Amino acid sequence: MDNTAARVAELKRLLIMNSSSEQAYDDITRAAADVCEVPIALISLVDDHRQWFKSRLGTQAEQTPIEDSFCAIAIDYPTDTMVIRDALLDPRFAQNALVLGDPNIRFYAGVPLVTGAGVPIGTVCVIDRTPRDLSAGQIEQLKFFARQVVAMLEARPSPETK
């Protein structure tokens, strides 16, 4: 299901794309990496041509093209946590530039960020360079982090209220 127009409209409403770094989001990213014991964690927002990272730990990339985005696929299933145990064994990702090159993704888990309007706009995700899995408790923590991110996004002041 293509929800690109609704997603882009939600991102514009939230005025979040290309915004400055914020400690509260960085704290969630760090906590996600710690809980899941991975080197990379992201708060990723997906517009019509890229995924942009509101917060990132373990990578210098600020964004990637949408065609390389694991998160762009994860948001197609807004009620599910997408877990890729070994990206080299998954036909959707085996030839992906982010798997074959830097950051050499092998493991990915992403929980969609779904706004109050029901629109998935991105994910809280964790990444490792080796195949692995998450416990049920770790997945529950990722879901908790995703709910917190959405709450923070929805509570952001609009320019009119600043």
Taking only the tens place, the pLDDT of each residue in 94-131 is 999 999 999 999 999 999 999 999 999 999 999 999 99
Residue 79 has pLDDT above 50, yes or no: yes
Hey, how many other C-beta atoms are within 10 angstroms of the C-beta on 86? Answer: 17
Q: Per the structure block, which two tokens stand in for 79?
A: 């009620």
Confidence tier at 1 by pLDDT (50, 70, 90)? low
Domains of the chain as residue ranges with CATH? 4-156 (3.30.450.40)
Residue 2 has pLDDT above 80, yes or no: no
Residue 20 has pLDDT above 70, yes or no: yes
Residue 68 has pLDDT above 90, yes or no: yes
**The pLDDT value given to residue 162:** 45
Residue 161 has pLDDT above 80, yes or no: no
pLDDT in tens, 21-47: 999 999 999 999 999 999 999 999 999
**The pLDDT value given to residue 19:** 93
| Type of residue at 75 | I
Q: Looking up tokens 């929800």, which residue turns up?
A: 3
The overall average pLDDT reported for the chain is: 94
Cite the beta strand spans of the chain per DSSP E: 40-46, 50-57, 63-65, 82-84, 107-114, 120-128
How many angstroms separate the CA atoms of 31 and 9, rounded?
29
